[in-house]
Amino acid sequence: MKSRQRIPFFLIWRHIRFSNKWTLGLIILLMGIAFINLLFVNSLFNGVIESNENQLINTRSGNITITPTKGQSVINDPLAVVSKVDKVPLVKSASPEVVIPGTLAYGGRRGNYDVVAINPAIEQKTTTVSQHMVSGEYLKTGDAEGIILGQDIAGKKDDPTAFAPNGIKPGQKVEVITDTTPREFTVRGVFQTKFNGTDDNAYITQAGLARIAPELVGKATNILVKTTTKGNEPVIVASMKSAGIPGTLRTWEQSATSLKTLTNSFVTINTLMTVVGFFIAAVTIFIIIYVDVTHKRQEIGILRAIGIKSHLIVTTYVLQAAVYSFLGVVVGTILYFGILVPYFTVYPFKIPIGDVNLSIVPWDYVFRAATVVAVGMLSGLIPALIGTRRPILDDILNR
C-alpha cells in the first residue's frame, strides 16, 4: 500500500527530471507573472488608498481632531489644551488652528476659500504642508503680512478656468476679505500636497489673524493631534477623554467621509481584478496540464494497463500542478519584492491625487499565494480526470 502511495511522487519527480528545462522554466515564469499580476494590482490599489489616508492625516486632519464642545463655536485657551494633549501617551504633537471662511481677491477675480490661521513653528511639527512648498517659502512666526496659498488657489499659467489664470507667484499681493473690509497680504509661497482638502486652503499666522479677525486671537476652531503611529487612535482618544481634555474628539477615519467613496470604489475594482487574476492563473495551469495529458495518452494508457489505479495518475497531475504553482509563487515573489517594490519606492507613481508606492498587506500576500496554489491544483485536477476516463485501449492505440 505504501509503495503505491509513492507512485505519484515518483512519476512527478521523473517528469520534472527528464522534461525540457526551457519548457519547464517558461511554465514557471508564466505562473510567476500571473502571481505578480495578482500582487501588483492589489498593492497598487492599497497604495492609492494608503496615500490618500496619509495625505489626510499629514496635511489636513491629523490623526485626531479636537473641535469645540457641542454648543460652542470655538475652543478657548487652546494652548492650555495643547499642553494637556502633549502629556497623553503616544501623542507626538498638537497644533491649534483657526479656520475662517473667507474670500480671496486677485486680478479682478474673487473666490471663496478657507483661510487657516496657524502658529507656523507648532504647525510644522503636526502637518507636512511646509514640506510641500513648490515656490517661495513657508510662513514665519510673527509674519503679519504673509500668506501661503495652495496650488488650487494659486493656479498655473495659461489656465483660463483657474482662480488666477496666469498663476500667483511669491511676492505678489492678494486681498483677504472676511467681513466687508479687504486686507492686503503678500504671498510668501505656494504649496501643493496633491490633496484637494488642503490645496484649496490659504494659511496665515496668528499675527495675520489679528488683522482680519482680532476677536479670534487666543482661540481655536480646531486642534490637530499627531500620534506616533497610525492605527491606535481609538486608544489615544480614550486616554485623552480620561485626562479631561475638553471638546469633541474625532479620529481621522471619522473625518474621512470624502475618502470612503473612493476607498469603496477601489475595493470593488480590486476584488474584480483579483477574481480575473485567479481565473488567468487557473486557465494557465488547465491548458498546461491538458496539453500534457493529451500528449501522454499512450503513457497514461500503459500505466493503467499494468495496474496503476487512475486516482494515482490523477494525483500525479494534481501534484504537478501544485509544483508549477508553488514555484511560480516563489519566482513571482522574488521578482516582485526584489525588483518592482524597490523600483517604485524610488520612483513612485505620479498621479493627480498623490505619489503612490506599492503597498502589500502580509496576510493578503499569504492568502493570494495559498489561493494560487489551490486554484492551480484544482485546475490540474479537471484535465487529469478527463484524461483517465477514456478507455485504456483507446489511449494505448492513441485513437
**The three grid cell numbers given for residue 165, joined into one nine-digit string:** 489664470
Whether residues 146 and 194 fall in one domain: yes
In tens, the pLDDT along 385-399 reads 776 666 555 555 565
Cell 496665515 sits at which residue? 204
Whether residue 188 is contained in a domain is answered as yes
In tens, the pLDDT along 3-19 reads 555 655 555 666 666 56
| Closest to 106 in 3D by CA, of 67, 60, 36, 153 | 153
In tens, the pLDDT along 154-168 reads 987 777 767 877 889
Whether residue 61 is contained in a domain is answered as no
Per-residue confidence band for 148, with pLDDT thresholds at 50, 70 and 90: very high
Whether residues 73 and 184 fall in one domain: yes
Question: Are 111 and 103 a contacting pair, CB within 8 Å?
Answer: yes
Phi then psi for residue 62, to 5 deg, are: 65, 180
Whether residue 346 is contained in a domain is answered as yes
Whether residue 210 is contained in a domain is answered as yes
User: For residue 131, what are the domain limits?
Assistant: 69-246
Total length of the chain: 399
Cα distances (angstroms) measured from residue 389 to each of 25, 311, 384, 397: 30, 10, 9, 15
Whether residue 255 is contained in a domain is answered as no
| Closest to 328 in 3D by CA, of 86, 55, 63, 26 | 26
Report the number of distinct structural domains present in the chain.
Answer: 2
Strands (DSSP E) contained in the chain are 64-67, 75-76, 91-106, 109-118, 133-136, 146-150, 173-177, 182-191, 201-205, 219-220, 222-227, 248-251, 349-351, 354-356
Q: What is the DSSP letter of 77?
A: S
Position 50 pLDDT exceeds 70 = yes
Whether residue 254 is contained in a domain is answered as no
Q: What is the pLDDT of residue 1?
A: 44
Q: How far is CA 169 from the centre of its chain?
A: 33
Whether residues 187 and 78 fall in one domain: yes
Whether residues 90 and 220 fall in one domain: yes
Question: Are 74 and 253 a contacting pair, CB within 8 Å?
Answer: no
Whether residues 308 and 342 fall in one domain: yes
Q: Of the residues 221, 246, 271, which one is the last residue of a structural domain? A: 246
Position 353 pLDDT exceeds 80 = no
Whether residues 49 and 168 fall in one domain: no
For residues 259-281, average pLDDT: 77
Whether residues 266 and 240 fall in one domain: no
Q: What is the DSSP letter of 389?
A: S
Crossing angle (nearest 10°) for helices 310-335 and 7-18: 50
Whether residues 333 and 364 fall in one domain: yes
Whether residues 186 and 86 fall in one domain: yes
Which range among 95-104, 244-253, 305-314 shows the weakest confidence by mean pLDDT?
305-314
Whether residues 241 and 309 fall in one domain: no
In tens, the pLDDT along 191-220 reads 999 888 899 999 999 999 999 999 999 999
Whether residues 30 and 151 fall in one domain: no
Whether residue 377 is contained in a domain is answered as yes
Q: Of the residues 205, 222, 246, which one is the last residue of a structural domain? A: 246
Whether residues 107 and 50 fall in one domain: no
Q: Of the residues 218, 246, 274, which one is the last residue of a structural domain? A: 246
Whether residue 251 is contained in a domain is answered as no
Question: Are 176 and 104 a contacting pair, CB within 8 Å?
Answer: yes
